[in-house]
């Protein structure tokens, strides 16, 4: 199944190209950032284009994975629906066609006849990405495609992607907002148990090419199944024991009680804020924070599946916060780890796939335990 990993790395890179093209090519960029002015139809059209970038990327990934592994067709899910309504109120199903010309033709119907924009998008979708550097040689993954399902978030942290603030990243530091928070997330899980087993994260806007060639990305991957635990990120060295509590990253919209309880545990300097659910879990993977705590059910299976697989490969995980709070302290168990195969039957629409109980993403179980006990009283 190392073939699947290589394919996911390739399609994630293609997705990153599409995300970059939408910002680099003037006709697409204008659609992306256009202010919502004018009549209602225009407002809706611009809003739709933002979603279209996501839909197109998701369909491209679904198409490429399904073409190579037909056993997975029907089990490749994502955030977006491919049913799309254009500015004229017509319903169009966005798919990737067998030729670039056909894809361009279909996209033009969604883009209200804007052939330039449609051709640029189709070109990026049908282009082969540059070869991905990933040392997957010799990696044997004991899984078959018929056992797996996939969750795709074509662009996580869309608001940061649209705003497009450029940040120069400092090695070893978390940068709270900006283009670098936008990530392509593709995770694979076991259909039988819902465990996340393989994940690919592509960060399309990691740094600017010093030679002026535009944005360059970065990718990360991990596999965790049976005795195979491999991650492209090596575990950062643990800090000096006992001196501090864990460092924790939160959403800026986190509840005050949670901020207060964690300030007592961690100290005020060790609480950080960042945009993007995927980016916050990536910060934990990279050791820029020890944990990510979220008390609300505002993330979804497609946000956490891919980065969860990387954390598991590093010996950590992502648990349901509400369930963890109900558990007897000290007992480290896998029962509270998030799973990816079952919808919540008591919810409707996208919320069926929400991580409804909130979450804690962690690398080290001892941090998880101290965080859960610190939150037990206040929550
Ligand atoms: C969002 C995005 C947001 C996040 C939210 C996700 O996904 O990652 O940034 O909120 O939970 O669902 P926050 O930044 O407050 O953590 P998308 O951008 O794909 O809608
Ligand atoms: Ca998301
Ligand atoms: Ca998204």
Distance CA 12, CA 241 (A): 38
Q: Give the end of a domain, one of 78, 93, 128.
A: 128
Domain limits at 58?
A: 1-128
257 and 121 within one domain: no
| Pocket of ligand 1 contains residue 295 by CB under 6 Å | no
Residue 361 lies in a domain: yes
37 CA to middle of ligand 1, Å?
Answer: 25
Distance CA 355, CA 37 (A): 35
| Pocket of ligand 1 contains residue 80 by CB under 6 Å | no
Supply the residue whose CA is at minimum distance from atom 1 of ligand 1.
157
pLDDT tens for 233-249 read: 987 666 555 567 899 99
| Pocket of ligand 1 contains residue 158 by CB under 6 Å | yes
If one compares 143 and 294, the residue with the highest pLDDT of the two is 294
243 and 119 within one domain: no
Q: Give the end of a domain, one of 79, 94, 128.
A: 128
Strand order in the sheet with 148-156: 76-78, 148-156, 183-190, 196-208, 215-225, 228-231
Whether the complex's predicted ipTM is more than 0.90 is answered with yes
231 and 124 within one domain: no
pTM of structure: 0.93
Ligand nearest to the CA of 79: 3
Supply the residue whose CA is at minimum distance from atom 9 of ligand 1.
276
Residue labelled with tokens 């819902």: 194
Question: What pLDDT does 122 receive?
Answer: 94
3-class DSSP assignment, residue 26: helix
| Pocket of ligand 1 contains residue 276 by CB under 6 Å | yes
252 and 105 within one domain: no
173 and 122 within one domain: no
- Nearest atom in ligand 1 to 157's CA: 18
156 CA to middle of ligand 1, Å?
Answer: 6
Residue labelled with tokens 């300097």: 269
Name the domain count of the chain.
Answer: 2
151 and 124 within one domain: no
pLDDT tens for 179-194 read: 999 999 999 999 999 9
376 and 240 within one domain: yes
Question: Residue 44 pLDDT more than 60?
Answer: no
pLDDT tens for 233-290 read: 987 666 555 567 899 999 999 999 999 999 999 988 899 999 999 999 999 999 999 9
The CATH number assigned to the domain holding 240 equals 3.40.190.80
Supply the residue whose CA is at minimum distance from atom 18 of ligand 1.
157
Nearest to 247 by CA among 293, 290, 286: 290
118 and 152 within one domain: no
244 and 292 within one domain: yes
DSSP sequence for 141-198: ----GGGEEEEEEEEESHHHHHH----PPPTT----SSGGG-EEEEEEEETTT--EEE
Strand order in the sheet with 271-273: 271-273, 248-250, 291-294, 359-362, 317-320
Q: How many of the other CB atoms lie within 10 Å of CB of 260?
A: 11
Residue 77 lies in a domain: yes
Q: Are 293 and 270 in contact (CB under 8 A)?
A: no
């Amino acid at each position: 199944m190392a073939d699947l990993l290589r394919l996911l790395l390739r399609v994630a890179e293609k997705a990153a190209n599409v995300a970059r093209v939408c910002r680099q090519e003037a006709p697409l960029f204008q659609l992306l950032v256009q202010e919502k002015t004018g009549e209602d139809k225009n407002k809706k059209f611009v809003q739709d284009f933002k979603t279209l970038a996501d839909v197109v990327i998701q369909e491209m990934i679904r198409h490429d994975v399904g073409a190579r592994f037909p056993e997975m067709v029907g089990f490749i899910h994502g955030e977006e629906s491919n049913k799309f309504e254009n500015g004229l109120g017509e319903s169009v199903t966005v798919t990737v066609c067998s030729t670039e010309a056909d894809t361009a033709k279909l996209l033009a119907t969604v883009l209200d006849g804007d052939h330039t924009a449609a051709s640029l998008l189709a070109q990026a979708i049908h282009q082969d990405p540059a070869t991905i550097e990933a040392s997957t040689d010799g990696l044997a993954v004991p899984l078959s495609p018929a056992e797996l399902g996939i969750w795709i978030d074509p662009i996580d942290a869309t608001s940061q992607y649209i705003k497009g603030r450029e940040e120069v990243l400092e090695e070893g530091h978390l940068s709270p907002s900006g283009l670098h928070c936008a990530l392509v997330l593709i995770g694979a899980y076991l259909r039988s148990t819902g465990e996340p087993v393989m994940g690919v994260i592509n960060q399309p806007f990691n740094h600017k090419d010093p030679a002026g060639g535009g944005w360059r990305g970065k990718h990360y991957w991990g596999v965790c199944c049976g005795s195979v635990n491999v991650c492209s990120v090596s575990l950062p060295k643990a800090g000096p024991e006992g001196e501090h509590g864990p460092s924790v990253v939160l959403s800026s919209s986190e509840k005050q009680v949670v901020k207060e309880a964690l300030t007592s545990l961690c100290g005020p300097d060790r609480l950080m804020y960042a945009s993007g659910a995927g980016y916050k879990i990536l910060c934990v993977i990279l050791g820029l924070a020890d944990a990510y705590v979220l008390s609300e059910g505002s993330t979804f299976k497609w946000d956490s599946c891919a980065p969860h697989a990387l954390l598991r490969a590093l010996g950590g995980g992502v648990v349901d916060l509400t369930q963890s709070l109900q558990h007897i302290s000290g007992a480290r168990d896998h029962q509270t780890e998030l799973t990816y195969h079952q919808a919540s039957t008591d919810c409707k629409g996208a919320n069926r796939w929400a991580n409804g109980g909130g979450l804690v993403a962690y690398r080290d179980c001892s941090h998880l335990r101290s965080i859960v006990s610190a939150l037990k009283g206040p929550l």
